Amino acid sequence: MSRPVSSNLRHLKSLFRQYYSTGCLEEPAYIHKREIGVQLLGETTYRRHLSFPSMTMLYKFIIENPPLHLYYSSAYYDDPSAKDMGAKGWHGSDLLFDIDADHYQGCNSTITFCTRCGKSFEGTYKQCPSCGSTNVIAYPLINFDCIKRAYNDAIKIKLVLKDDFGLKNIKVYFSGNRGFHVKCSDDEILDLTSDERRELAMYISLNGLEPALVFPPITKRKIVIFVSQEYGIRKRIFMDLDHKDLLRRRGVLYEADYDDVLYSIEDNRVDIDTVVTMDISRLSRFGGSINGKSGLVVSSVGEQLPSSYADFSPWDGTVVIKPVVDFSGLPVLGNKLNLKTGIPIRVKTYVGIYLALKGLAKIENVERVEIRKCMMYS
């Protein structure tokens, strides 16, 4: 919560508590070996090194103390609650990949709101350019097309893990905000070192690839020769060229222009956050938990991405909010709103919660809210 409007806290706690009471969290394997991390609603710091012997005990804790953010470690430990990382007794970690939609061109615009003078500015500012106040809120503008691009990249990661490494237990999650997580928990990957995980990320992302080594161009015409049964990165590019009709058949061989190969490599790059993949003690969000930056649920997705932000909200119905800023036509999770300071408006619940979490509105009334059933899309 960037600048919490304090009276929102009571409503948000009640809404989050109601949601968690429905029992929609996805249980990670070996919950008792995981470090749990939370930021509770109303608190500004994280509590780490928690551990729970069972989901029942975890639910008891979060229903009493509804979290803004809820995480578990990708790692399995003998003693997950030990404060010193070295004393936890690490014996393996799931493999994680993080895709953030704000890395794409056109997907990282923001509006800065000043809650002192009420003005707004395109871009991100630490201080209000008009009155100098530091009471500013950076509001991200990410349309759902950016989310779709991130989803496509997450699916690419999943396919390479499956096709090139034969891994099976792979899940793709919408992060609830603006990205995707790919989690793999096959036994074979649990004891990979950080360096090995980095190698995997490089292999999948195609970053650092020297094209001429993997696709040596022959002849002065700069032609790359393929056979019908390629493997690994060569197969990935072969399939892509085939799909784009850029392969020419020559007897039992196929040829493509080197420039087309280079273009295809660029097209198949995936922007993976290598730091996340390398970190074997990373905390990642619980499937089924609420992302406190947005109020949307961290949801597993399969072959098809749901079509809008609204599909990731656990709440139906409407709430009445009072904006704390002025803005005409503000994009809010696929809706456009006209906000006038202090003038109450009725909005869809997920829209109201989003604005409340961003600090741009005060929730006045939640009387018509209902909770949907658990939402997982795979």
Interface with Zn ion (CB under 5 A)? 114, 116-117, 128, 130-131, 133
Quick one: 110 or 130, whose CB is closer to Zn ion?
Answer: 130
**d(C-alpha 40, C-alpha 48), whole Å:** 11
Give alpha helix (H) positions in 216-257: 232-243
**d(C-alpha 208, C-alpha 342), whole Å:** 53
**Residue 102 near residue 95 (C-beta atoms within 8 A):** no
Quick one: 133 or 152, whose CB is closer to Zn ion?
Answer: 133
Q: How far is the CB of 325 from Zn ion (least distance, A)?
A: 11
Options 273, 311, 316, 326, the catalytic residue: 273
Quick one: 130 or 194, whose CB is closer to Zn ion?
Answer: 130
Phi and psi of 63, rounded to 5°?
-75, -35
Q: How far is the CB of 128 from Zn ion (least distance, A)?
A: 3
Q: How far is the CB of 326 from Zn ion (least distance, A)?
A: 12
**d(C-alpha 49, C-alpha 37), whole Å:** 7
Options 94, 98, 240, 279, the catalytic residue: 98
Quick one: 133 or 378, whose CB is closer to Zn ion?
Answer: 133
Tell me if residue 273 is catalytic: yes
Estimate to the nearest angstrom the gap between the alpha carbon of 256 and the chain centroid. Answer: 36
**Residue 357 near residue 139 (C-beta atoms within 8 A):** no
**d(C-alpha 175, C-alpha 288), whole Å:** 10
- How long a stretch of residues is the chain? 378
User: Which residue carries 């990382």 as its tokens?
Assistant: 85
Nearest to 176 by CA among 282, 42, 305, 312: 312
Q: How far is the CB of 9 from Zn ion (least distance, A)?
A: 25
Estimate to the nearest angstrom the gap between the alpha carbon of 65 and the chain centroid. Answer: 24
Structure token digits, residue 229: 């049964």
Nearest to 356 by CA among 295, 299, 268, 298: 295
CA angle 373, 377, 378 (to 5 degrees): 125
Q: How far is the CB of 110 from Zn ion (least distance, A)?
A: 16
Tell me if residue 98 is catalytic: yes
**Residue 339 near residue 327 (C-beta atoms within 8 A):** yes
Quick one: 131 or 253, whose CB is closer to Zn ion?
Answer: 131
Q: How far is the CB of 130 from Zn ion (least distance, A)?
A: 5
For the annotated catalytic residues, the residue numbers are 98, 100, 273
